[in-house]
Structure 1
Amino acid sequence: QEDILNLLKKLFDNKSTESIEKLAEIVSSSTDLVLTEQCKQSFEQIPHDISIDLSTIGIWIDPVDGTQQYINGTDGIIDSRTGIMQDGLPTALVLIGCFDRTDGHAIVGLVYWGTALLNAKYNNLDNVYKRNENNSQRVLLHGSIDLNTFTNILDDWRKIEVAACGNKLLSIGLKQANIYLATKSAAFNWDLCAAHAIIQSANGQILDLS
């Protein structure tokens, strides 16, 4: 654990010592994952005859989505009107995504979870968040973007600056917003894979409009 701690301190230039120490503790821990009963029950909706060829599966893991926001120790303030966490992340959000190495398609995402196989689209989003009638016409943007750029685009929509790629995509999956608009290349495969599978499991999609 001490070696991991020293490495993280160098990597993040000794910012937010408390966050770094907690992250080092988690990374070096060998504690088994314990699922809640609600989570276990949610998996029961997947038919037992669904199978995946493990020989073609690849895995992307993003151990800390919104790394900078977490390490800087931001408060992770949740907007009471939207349920969206805009000001950084108070905890490390771990994204685990499985994809088909033959075609690159995301098929399983674990944060919340979803399967996006052609014959098996299931998730536990309804167990996590209930959409209300006021969630329509919201578009999520990068936290560093100039909102004035979008003055004449979707002018009757509410535009919200949100941190962390995985956090934004999960807000879409949870139906807290309708669109996440990325105007620059700011995400890697490990940022996208898990949330992409979850969004597809709810019949959503990530599109390249360039």
Structure 2
Amino acid sequence: MADLLKLLLRVAEKAANVARVCRQEAPLFQLLIQEKTGVDKNKKFVQDFKTLADVVIQEMIRHDVGAQFPEIIDHIQGEESNKFENGLGESVIVTVCGTEKETAALLATVLDGDQMAATLLACAIHQDATLKLTGTDDLHIPLSPSDLGIWIDPIDATSQYIQGREEVVEEGCLCSSGLQCALVLIGVYIRATGEPVIGVINQPFNHKDPTGWKGKHFWGVSYGSVKACSVLRPKDRPAECPGLSVVLSSSEKQAVKEALAPLCGPDRLMYASGAGYKILCVILGLADVYVLSEGSTFKWDSCGPHALLLALGGGMLDLKECLHFGHCEGGHHDQGELTYHQSHSESTGADRWANQGGLVAYLDCQMLHRVIGELKGKF
């Protein structure tokens, strides 16, 4: 399993390279600009390009993981379908081929013959990522790859990625929007129970130096007594600082905002883009709790970050169940931990894999207790 974690970290870094190439190289960037400004919005090719960056990353991860762990290949799922119809009306199945040249040729058919853009993407897909890994070699997890499934969100907060705003953020503060909110998310779960056990988060646009954008990666493992994470658990807040911080979506229900505002005080009820990024804010201690009352996130959004929370002693609960059944008695939640193996059979399409009851992500159970106490009966 240490080998699987190291592989996932490498493919996530490859994915980050693809995301950066799509913004740095002029032929690809022009396509993003067209999507951003709405020029030629009726062309299927332009409309799909924002999805193509996602699908290329998703299929690259599927290809690389399947090559080393073939027993998992049929249980790797992601946000995107890999079927496209290009501007010429041709249906194309996007896959990663055996060679860079073959992949470029396939991508050119999706990109209406744009060979330069296809070549740039294929080069990034087939280029090995260099990544310095620490703390992964000594992990011993008694699981077989044949017991596992994987969820991929190739670019979470895609709209922020496409718009490409570069926000300046003080150290120790969360970023409300912009490229920093775009993340590559990979989560591994046990197929029999849905329990998340390995999580990888790559932030392709963590900071910028004179040579361009640089990324950062985070990982966590949680299975039985094995708890390991690349992030140190944030220090508990001193007793003299009773207020807590909550991060929400700006579109959150007004009733939720009003219920939590007195608990947080001024400037500690915060807003950010991207479900994965908001969970990362909790992992890093930039916010105490993330609350979402709507069923607008999906298994691919939450599986990877959830594993990091568990590794740090926190968790992620179904908010509706949490409000209904109770929470955090004796330092442990009673029920409602999100799982990743079962779909909602009564729903169709992506909604089958939605976190339909909303969610609440936390590290400190007492913080969770206070938030749920304020929300109970309010909406």
TM above 0.5: yes
- 2:200 pairs with one of 102, 110, 117: 110
Aligned to 1:35: 131
Work out the CA distance in 2 between the residues paired with 1:196 and 1:107: 9
Work out the CA distance in 2 between the residues paired with 1:135 and 1:95: 33
Amino acid at match of 1:42: G
Q: Does 1:142 align with 2:231?
A: no
Work out the CA distance in 2 between the residues paired with 1:135 and 1:174: 19
Amino acid at match of 2:313: N
Work out the CA distance in 2 between the residues paired with 1:135 and 1:125: 24
Residue pair 2:160, 2:182 contacting (<8 A) in 1 also: no
TM-score for the superposition, normalised by structure 1: 0.77
Q: Does 1:53 align with 2:144?
A: yes
Residue pair 1:74, 1:89 contacting (<8 A) in 2 also: yes
Instruction: Give the Å deviation of 1:94.
Output: 0.7
| Deviation by residue 1:136-188 (Cα, 9 ceiling, x = unmatched) | 61101013235575224351411101100000111111111110010101111
Cα pair distance change 1:98/1:152, threshold 3 Å: closer
Instruction: Give the Å deviation of 1:42.
Output: 2.6
Instruction: Give the Å deviation of 1:12.
Output: 5.5
Aligned to 1:89: 179
Q: Does 1:188 align with 2:188?
A: no
Aligned to 2:107: none
Amino acid at match of 2:247: L
Instruction: Give the Å deviation of 1:207.
Output: 1.2
Work out the CA distance in 2 between the residues paired with 1:113 and 1:141: 23
Work out the CA distance in 1 between the residues paired with 2:166 and 2:308: 26
Aligned to 1:18: none
Cα pair distance change 1:156/1:81, threshold 3 Å: farther
Residue-pair matches, total: 193
Q: Where in structure 1 are there 5+ consecutive unaligned residues?
A: 15-20
Q: Does 1:10 align with 2:106?
A: no
Amino acid at match of 1:168: K
Work out the CA distance in 2 between the residues paired with 1:177 and 1:196: 15
**Percent of pairs identical after alignment?**
27
Which is worse superposed, 130-139 or 89-98? 130-139
Residue pair 2:160, 2:181 contacting (<8 A) in 1 also: no
Instruction: Give the Å deviation of 1:93.
Output: 1.6
Q: Does 1:164 align with 2:274?
A: yes
Instruction: Give the Å deviation of 1:35.
Output: 1.4
- 2:165 pairs with one of 49, 74, 77: 74
Q: Does 1:25 align with 2:118?
A: no
Aligned to 1:98: 188
Larger Rg: 2
| Deviation by residue 1:18-70 (Cα, 9 ceiling, x = unmatched) | xxx7xx8389521112212xxx22324x44x4332110111111110101111
- Output the aligned Cα RMSD: 3.3
Instruction: Give the Å deviation of 1:9.
Output: 2.7
Instruction: Say which structure, 1 or 2, has more relative contact order (CA 8 Å, 6+ apart).
Output: 1
Cα pair distance change 1:55/1:162, threshold 3 Å: same
Work out the CA distance in 2 between the residues paired with 1:76 and 1:34: 27
Residue pair 1:73, 1:90 contacting (<8 A) in 2 also: no
TM-score for the superposition, normalised by structure 2: 0.45
Which of the two has greater helix per residue?
Answer: 2
Work out the CA distance in 2 between the residues paired with 1:170 and 1:26: 30
Aligned to 2:286: 176
Cα pair distance change 1:149/1:120, threshold 3 Å: closer
Amino acid at match of 1:34: T
Work out the CA distance in 2 between the residues paired with 1:203 and 1:27: 40
Residue pair 1:63, 1:92 contacting (<8 A) in 2 also: no
